[in-house]
Chains A and B, each alone.
Chain A
């Protein structure tokens, strides 16, 4: 029966080409717009570390003792150096890592290349297993390297391609500012979205958080080594008094270090919360803190708190779905016109014994076929839309590709939308009284 309905639907679509084209176009444009924005939304709102994110937490304490540093309802987004190092070296979590990023000049090993500006992440060895960072060559440095301030580095796939043409560069040296570091590992292409581990300050960003979706750093260096190598080039998140020497923040009254911990069970999480609270109380007793607020948000909670999805992207998604809604109304109207014009044909079918249900099914088949063709159009339009997104000057532009899941959703959405749109006209068509129509014929 379905085959027969499909045949009827095809014939009907061919009969009034203009109307068919209009309907297909309306659905295609609506689907194209919504799938483009939905894909971007999906890319930006996803879990950067599915399966692991629930065990990763961002720790905060409130080191600023002055009353006017914010309202103290929330601790600062970053830690001061002393708290960060205290908490990290206590090793109370399953894994823990410090995060500071900075920019520095690097000289390429090939003499004919000009100096490069690179981004460097100062971190500790746990960073790599904690965040499931994939290696192409070599591996992470050791805890001993962290302790001995070894001059070693892990570099990104991009930098390895740029400097070493993509070959195994483990053991080669790289000159970071005035220090030579030995490369111990090369990452595979790695592009978490957002670059969650440096996310901070979202509540001050006025919704402009596109910067969170940039590429990971070019060079990863043991925390203390990096602080020595790039002395004076560090940016504070905030200070409650002017630092004695800008850029030298170890002893400065400034927040600038991030601490991520991995806690594998709820009991450990609760224990760590207690540990943070104790630390804050103890520091208050020592006179270093005035405020004892602490936070331990899990990864997705931290992204939510920072409202990591750019506001414009959300707005675009709303807009696209309003647009799809209007296309839906449009399709309902056009299908209604189309079906009612064929009232005579349905009258004959009813008179020959077709049930209302059969007419209804026939009409829905036609609507679904239009939806499917519209879906193909919508898929092509969303490819065009994503191509346009990739040409935008946003940091996440390179991420905008349609994956398999979204490809399927495109067609499901198109067919569902058109079947929904077709159901009212189909209901009306199935109610055509046979006798009246036959008389007119």
Chain B
């Protein structure tokens, strides 16, 4: 191809070319980073929790008349028995905090009792013997709590220590890198012996650095319903909503007047959707910005190329008259656009990197993985070729006879 001719011709429109190059470069930088941000959000929204979310339903109860601790505990047992009797319910447990819920309970955890030992904040789940099965937790190592290891809330508050603990694999690897955590002791509520390691269980909400999202501990504590929520495992995920209706009806019939409302009954999946709705909204907004940006860039390319085609009508006519085919003219403008886009993309890569550094400094974002660059380049090349097609076809239709007319 005649690169040199094209470059010569472009040299006559330095400002316009520079503008197009800059526009493409900035678009490239913003689109690459926006795609990266979208990727980040999607990845965040799809993080597994370690819980069998499809089969779990949560029910919070506000208690109008709590009564004595014994009475509440007795009511909890009545409720659980009634809930178990519902056909479609596989298991029921009481847990102190729910995934994607509002409460977050955590303790400082260290490897020594010494007050000066380094500690990290780790979230704690407390629940009865049915909790693991209800949530569908998987054990990677060690064993579940034994039935006689479960204590009551009063015993916990009385400062009973020596409670066994099950921790997550992520926490185990952080505390005991390269070793088995089973049988070791961590210090949270006094000294706690690790009896098992969970495959995965995450914090109820994001708190602290990203890597600590998978740090969690599980303690064997039988709680009354007022200290947390009922988690209910359904047999058939398709019938979750029907089970929620049954649960509401059963609980209303099972005890004294309490605040039992469909507003406090959720499927875990709806809680997940609600928790991530801002991320979803942000991802859609970024998609919108990318699309608008590409449209605006295309408009710029169409506008300037149209201007060039109009300006060069006579030259195009002369080239046609001396033997250039329509295809030659079409390719000329396509090649021209390819060159400009390539320049823009080259500059855009540098800007992309710079913008990423800026975002890393201000938004604790990770470094942009290399594969976003070719993706961004491809998008802008294709966009350029599509945008130039209209004006280039118009140029190709210029009849050779134009050469014989004066401007």
Q: Which residues of A contact B (CB under 8 A)?
A: 19, 22-23, 25-26, 29-30, 33, 66-69, 105, 115, 117, 204, 206-208, 210, 232, 242, 244-246, 311-312, 314-316, 319-320, 322-323, 325-327, 329-330, 332-334, 336-338, 340-341, 392-394, 424, 428, 440
Contacts and interface: CB of A to CB of B under 8 A. Distances in A.
B142 interface: no
A333 B311 CA distance: 15
A270 B388 CA distance: 68
Given A68-B118, A207-B363, A336-B16, 19 more contacts: A23-B303, A29-B292, A68-B117, A68-B119, A207-B364, A210-B278, A242-B159, A244-B157, A315-B363, A323-B30, A329-B19, A330-B297, A330-B303, A333-B20, A333-B303, A334-B300, A341-B311, A424-B15, A440-B407
Contacts of A242: 156-157, 159, 189
Given A325-B26, A326-B26, A33 B296 contact: no
Interface stretch (B77-85, B168-176, B231-239, B281-289): B281-289
B34 A319 contact: yes
Contacts of B118: 68
Nearest to A240: B108
B19 A333 contact: yes
Contacts of A330: 23, 296-297, 299-300, 303
23 contacts: A22-B299, A26-B296, A30-B296, A33-B292, A68-B110, A68-B115, A68-B118, A68-B119, A115-B64, A208-B206, A244-B157, A316-B282, A316-B285, A319-B286, A323-B293, A326-B30, A329-B22, A329-B23, A334-B303, A337-B16, A393-B277, A394-B281, A424-B15
Interface in B97-124: 108, 110, 115-119
Contact of A428 (B15, B108, B110): B15
B259 A105 contact: yes
A285 B264 CA distance: 48
B289 A33 contact: yes
Contacts of B108: 68-69
B207 interface: yes
A210 B27 CA distance: 29
B342 interface: no
Contact of A341 (B299, B307, B364): B307
A329 B19 CA distance: 6
Nearest to A316: B285
- Interface class of chain B by DSSP: helix
B289 A326 contact: no
B59 to A, nearest CB: 16
A66 B114 CA distance: 11
A320 B286 CA distance: 10
B19 A336 contact: yes
B86 interface: no
B297 A393 contact: no
B282 to A, nearest CB: 5
Contacts of A392: 281
B304 A334 contact: yes
Contacts of B300: 26, 329-330, 333-334
B62 interface: yes
A207 B207 CA distance: 11
B67 interface: no
Nearest to A243: B157
Contacts of B15: 336, 424, 428
Nearest to B158: A244
B101 to A, nearest CB: 13
Contacts of B299: 22, 25-26, 330, 334
A23 to B, nearest CB: 8
Contacts of A326: 23, 26-27, 30, 293, 296-297
Nearest to B20: A333
A117 B227 contact: no
10 residue pairs, one from A and one from B, having the closest CB atoms: A337-B307, A330-B300, A329-B23, A68-B119, A333-B19, A334-B303, A68-B108, A326-B26, A333-B304, A322-B30
